[in-house]
Amino acid sequence: MKLPVRSLLMTITILLVCLSSQAQGEETKPPSKPQEALRLGDLERMALEKNPTLAQAGALVREAEGRKVQAGLYPNPTFGYSGEEITVRHPSDKSQHSLFIEQKIITGGKLQRSREIFVQEQAKAEADLQAQRQRVLNTVRITYFKTLGAQRLLELRGELAKIAREAVGITEELFNIGQADQPDMLEAEIEAQRADLDLINAENELQRVWEMLAAVVGEPAFPKMRLLGDLEIEIPKLDQETIFTKILEESPEIKSARARVEKAKAAVEHAKVQPIPDVSLRGGFGYDVERLHDGRRAGASGFVEIGIPIPLFDRNQGNIAAALAELKFFEHEVRRRQLALRVRLASVFKAYLSSLQAVERYQKKILPQAQKAYDLYLKSFQQMAAAYPQVLIAQRTLFQVRADYVHALVTARQSVVEIEGFLLTDGLNEKSDLSVKKEIQSNKR
């Protein structure tokens, strides 16, 4: 009988040491090989290099720059040949042959106003690139904290499964010497099975979030590695109105909307100068082979033509009205985005405050109390003053509290990233085909 009791006391001592070290929130040691672990900065660099949406957004910037250059180019002159009064039977008796050059003179500053449209289009594309870069970084950071939390939960579930399996062995020894009955043994086995299932779920969850992280950084086949980091670093204190003011001033979404307004203004000015007539110049040098009365050929001659369209019916009034309506639309779009951002910020900030309060409550009260309750039940059990199921309940409560604490930390970190990152998420987001077509049609106008 002494051997099982001594074994029980040794096991309890080991459990107390394990739980005591875990209660202090110590991270497990990093792997011995540095190349098998990643930090947040490593993931951010990978994402900025390989996330395809950033390459797409950069291509749109270069496209807008090319359109800006093209919009300011002067039309090419036309060089040609003209032949008149050419007869098939006697081509050398009566015909006129000329070389000419034709040039269209653009008036009213149309080229400058056309270029200004695409200057603003480039500004919008650059703001969209900035927004997409922030989306990618935010998504990497959020997924990093999710993965870090899943990694931490896997460690907790692994500890609990190990303790539960050891408890089954201890209960069997106590059952063999008559100090535990069959219900106690069944309870311990059920607890071990539940712990194993929780461990399997934790492994699957870690694999899921890792695959999400690998996709965001642009390496979907990247092998799973350990992430280095500490969820318990002090969470910053944020002020909602200060953050909202910063978002209105610096948000790439607002900058993009304002660039659309400036582009629409440039389009209005461009539409207004379209009725101003352009001048067409045409001149050349020719030779007339027709013979005059004295028998000599008419010879060389030149000509000049000037043409100016008269804006009698088409004064571009329809396009002007459409451009003014589009300007009004985008002016209201800025306001709509500002209001939408305020709504989104209120929702995210509520989650931030709730998780921050939860973290503080767990740190100051719930975790210490759960640890103390478990320690007291374990001590009472060691002194044969409490039943083992009470220890199991306290143990389950302690580990559930730790798991909830990890979830609160992850939620708080995610909220901070989203708030400080201008509420931009979804690092694999792309423009819809409809949106792209609308952009192209607007650019061609």
More confident residue, 3 or 166: 166
Phi (first) and psi of residue 384, to 5 degrees: 60, 30
Identity (one letter) of the amino acid at 156? L
Q: Is the pLDDT reported for residue 269 higher than 60? A: yes
Residue 63 belongs to a domain: no
Which residues lie across from 123 on neighbouring strands? Answer: none
Q: What distances in angstroms separate CA 276 from CA 104, 105, 178, 272, 312, one per listed residue?
A: 13, 12, 106, 8, 11
Residue 440 belongs to a domain: yes
For residue range 142-162, what is the model confidence (pLDDT) as tens digits? 999 999 999 999 999 999 999
Residue 436 belongs to a domain: yes
Cβ neighbours of residue 32 closer than 8 Å, sequence gap 6 or more: none
For residue range 21-56, what is the model confidence (pLDDT) as tens digits? 444 444 444 443 444 799 999 999 999 999 999 999
- Count: domains in the chain: 1
Q: Which domain holds residue 215?
A: 2-51+134-276+320-444
Q: Among the ranges 1-5, 155-159, 383-387, which has the highest mean pLDDT value? A: 155-159
Residue 162 belongs to a domain: yes
For residue range 58-71, what is the model confidence (pLDDT) as tens digits? 999 999 999 999 99
Which residues lie across from 185 on neighbouring strands? Answer: none
Block residue for tokens 């001659």: 301
More confident residue, 443 or 347: 347
Q: 128: pLDDT confidence band, cut at 50, 70 and 90?
A: very high
Residue 284 belongs to a domain: no
CA distance 362 to 359: 5
Nearest to 389 by CA among 181, 176, 196, 159: 181
Residue 75 belongs to a domain: no
CATH number at residue 345: 1.20.1600.10
Block residue for tokens 């009004």: 328
Dihedral, 439, 441, 443, 444 alpha carbons, nearest 10: 160
Residue 268 belongs to a domain: yes
- How large is the average pLDDT for residues 13-20? 41
At 384 the pLDDT is 74
Long-range own/partner contacts, residues 362-370 (CB < 8 A, 24 or more apart): 362/401, 362/404, 362/405, 362/408, 363/405, 366/401, 366/405, 367/23, 367/401, 367/402, 367/405, 370/394, 370/397, 370/398, 370/401, 370/402
Decide: 400 and 373 in contact? Cβ < 8 Å: no
Ramachandran region, residue 393 (left: φ > 0; alpha: ψ -120 to 50; beta: rest): alpha
Identity (one letter) of the amino acid at 235? I
Nearest to 266 by CA among 1, 445, 89, 101: 445
Q: Would the CA dihedral through 18, 206, 151, 401 be positive or negative?
A: negative
Residue 92 belongs to a domain: no
362 secondary structure, DSSP code: I
Q: Is the pLDDT reported for residue 107 higher than 60? A: yes
- How large is the average pLDDT for residues 372-388? 82
CA distance 273 to 264: 15
Q: What mean pLDDT, rounded, does the chain reach?
A: 87
Q: Are strands 37-38 and 226-227 parallel, antiparallel or unpaired?
A: parallel
